[in-house]
Amino acid sequence: MANVFDLIGRVFISALFLISAFNKIFNLEGSMNWMEGFNVPGFLIFPAIAVEIILPVLVIVGYQARIAAGILAFFCIITAFLFHFDFSNQSQFISFLKNIGLAGGFLFIVANGTKDWAVDREKKYVRL
């Protein structure tokens, strides 16, 4: 049962990034303009999209999940402070807390790794 919950948790925590990446792709110009409104160069949308697609997939399948989760935790913290630091705006404050919470979830993966349902799981040998 732990393997099921582990996989579901990895899918849930990663789904947000996959959906966000596809929203950025389909609204590329608007996303670039939004970033530039925070004095972040618009061309950085492309590495952000790559991070939001590649790393969550790695977390879901369990390949180098600790490294991918560590990078995503850092990504969440950076984006929280860059884009959601206006605490006078209730929705920005909630988005800030969401990003910090996601970073905590990814740090949990960094600390504990994945269960057996992962591509790079440790092989268990039986001694005969």
- Per-residue HEC secondary structure of the chain comes to CHHHHHHHHHHHHHHHHHHHHHHHHHCHHHHHHHHHCCCCCHHHHHHHHHHHHHHHHHHHHCCCHHHHHHHHHHHHHHHHHHHCCCCCCHHHHHHHHHHHHHHHHHHHHHHHCCCCCCCCCCCCCCCC
Write out pLDDT tens, residues 6-56.
Answer: 999 999 999 999 999 999 999 999 999 999 999 999 999 999 999 999 999
Write out pLDDT tens, residues 93-117.
Answer: 999 999 999 999 999 999 999 999 9
* pTM, full prediction: 0.92
